């Protein structure tokens, strides 16, 4: 097997376990908080929101630092730093004795995180440019499948073994994947070139990166996509109940509706990445943005959970063309000595979308309703597509394999 394909296979496993571990606690976080001594329902809701958000706050702040160090000292060492760090922190979460411990550990987890942008940078820098769309799409499918399967597995394991054991299992699996990466993954890294590059500050590095044509528009795609998806996801149980009234297995249907987008994303990310390699990732990105935006509109008019599932499966197909295309375009248009920083800034925009989305949606729903929120998400996505058309398509390297 070619080295880049072997790297891709191993890092697919790592990104899958990272996202599964990050999302596995979602189904039982409020129950774990109750086990840690908080019994008032309002306090449980408050702590759940704080603990869920804590990871994204520190990830948003620290990703650029790890990206800078990755460009200077190598992507593999940053990947191992993150993998070993997160596995230890996740295991420690299972030993928490009060909510403050859990909150601090979630903050620490976001601080040491960075496995996914390091994996993106390593795969991008060690894959032939004409295959980068396929590689980034495949890696994205590992991340998405982990985020889809994680909550399901978390709920299942919680019923079987209790809450604490899940952290031990997740941390151990991530530790195993990191050790496998340490043994198998090989990186082509020009240390002399990295050392000779100017050692600029994080802020200066950001200014340089967004100075590349269309780069800020690409970061905005990541932010808007995550903002729209994370904003509507928590509202699915309420929306289903609004359509059908109180129904048995409401949580099951809500989880199914949320997961179906991820399942189609997993299938179509590598396929659309391959299309981007052939016809241009910039064109795939713009078309996917338009179609993903339009697919929010029928969600505002559905009248059954099955209609909603069908539309969201279709939406997942188009979402599958977004982040892989963004990552492929970053790879093809940013110089090698700054590629890790570019991916890390992109990850920070993703964390910011995850952080703002649920809160903003909760506020906006009060005066426009859930159906109005779907329309607003469509408008944001289509406006982003128009910006991408002006700033990206035809103006930066499209990535077609000419």
Q: Where does the pLDDT of residue 402 fall: very low under 50, low under 70, confident under 90, or very high at 90 and above?
A: very low
Q: Where does the pLDDT of residue 399 fall: very low under 50, low under 70, confident under 90, or very high at 90 and above?
A: very low
The number of helix segments (H) and strand segments (E) in the chain equals 18, 0
Mean pLDDT to the nearest integer, 51-59 = 88
Given a contact cutoff of 8 angstroms between Cβ atoms, the answer to whether 324 and 272 are in contact is yes
Closest CA to 224 of 103, 319, 128, 327: 319
Q: Tell me how far apart the alpha carbons of residues 98 and 72 are, in angstroms, rounded to a whole number.
A: 39
Helix 3-23 with 132-161: angle, nearest 10 deg: 40
| Top-confidence residue, 84 or 230 | 84
Q: What are the angstrom distances between the C-alpha of 107 and each of 52, 54, 65?
A: 10, 5, 16
Q: Tell whether the model's pLDDT for residue 246 goes beyond 80.
A: no
Q: Tell whether the model's pLDDT for residue 105 goes beyond 50.
A: yes
| Top-confidence residue, 153 or 338 | 338
Helix 41-73 with 339-391: angle, nearest 10 deg: 100
Of 32-36, 80-84, 193-197, 224-228, the range with the lowest mean pLDDT is 193-197
3-state helix, strand and coil shares in percent for the chain, rounded to the nearest 5: 85, 0, 15
Q: Tell whether the model's pLDDT for residue 393 goes beyond 70.
A: no
pLDDT for the residue 401: 36
Q: What are the angstrom distances between the C-alpha of 63 and each of 66, 68, 145, 189, 205?
A: 5, 9, 22, 20, 13
Return the DSSP state at 140.
H
When the pLDDT of each residue in the chain is averaged and rounded to a whole number, the result is 86
Phi and psi, residue 165, nearest 5°: -65, -25
Q: Tell me how far apart the alpha carbons of residues 38 and 376 are, in angstroms, rounded to a whole number.
A: 36
The CATH H-level (homologous superfamily) assignment of domain 3-184+202-391 is: MFS general substrate transporter like domains (1.20.1250.20)
Given a contact cutoff of 8 angstroms between Cβ atoms, the answer to whether 168 and 94 are in contact is yes
């Amino acid at each position: 097997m070619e080295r880049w394909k072997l790297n891709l296979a191993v890092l697919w496993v790592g990104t899958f376990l990272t996202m599964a571990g990050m999302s596995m606690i979602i189904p039982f976080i409020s129950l774990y908080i109750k086990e840690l001594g908080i019994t008032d329902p309002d306090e449980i809701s408050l702590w759940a929101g704080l603990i869920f958000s804590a990871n994204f706050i520190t990830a948003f702040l620290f990703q650029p630092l790890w990206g800078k160090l990755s460009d200077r000292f190598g992507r593999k060492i940053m990947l191992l730093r993150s993998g070993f760090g997160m596995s230890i922190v996740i295991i420690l979460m299972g030993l928490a004795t009060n909510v403050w411990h859990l909150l601090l550990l979630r903050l620490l987890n976001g601080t040491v995180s960075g496995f996914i942008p390091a994996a993106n940078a390593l795969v991008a820098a060690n894959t032939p440019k004409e295959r980068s769309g396929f590689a980034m799409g495949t890696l994205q499918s590992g991340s998405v499948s982990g985020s889809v399967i994680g909550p399901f597995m978390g709920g299942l394991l919680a019923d079987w073994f209790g809450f604490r054991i899940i952290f031990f299992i997740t941390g151990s699996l991530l530790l195993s994947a990191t050790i496998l990466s340490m043994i198998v993954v090989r990186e082509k890294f020009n240390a002399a070139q990295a050392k000779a590059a100017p050692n600029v500050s994080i802020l200066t590095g950001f200014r340089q990166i967004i100075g590349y044509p269309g780069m800020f528009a690409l970061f905005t795609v990541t932010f808007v996509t995550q903002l729209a998806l994370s904003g509507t996801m928590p509202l699915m149980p309420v929306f289903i109940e609004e359509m059908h009234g109180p129904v048995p297995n409401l949580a099951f249907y809500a989880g199914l509706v949320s997961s179906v987008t991820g399942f189609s994303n997993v299938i179509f990310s590598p396929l659309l990445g391959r299309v981007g390699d052939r016809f241009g990732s910039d064109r795939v990105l713009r078309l996917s943005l338009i179609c993903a935006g339009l697919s929010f509109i029928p969600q505002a008019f559905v009248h059954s959970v099955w209609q909603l599932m069908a539309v969201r499966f279709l939406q997942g197909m188009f979402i599958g063309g977004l982040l892989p295309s963004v990552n492929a375009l970053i790879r093809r248009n940013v110089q090698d000595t700054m590629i890790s920083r570019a991916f890390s800034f992109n990850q920070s925009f993703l964390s910011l979308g995850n952080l703002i989305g649920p809160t903003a949606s909760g506020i906006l729903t009060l005066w426009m309703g859930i159906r109005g929120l779907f329309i607003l998400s469509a408008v944001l996505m289509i406006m982003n597509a128009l910006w991408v058309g002006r700033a990206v398509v035809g103006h930066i390297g499209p990535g077609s394999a000419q």
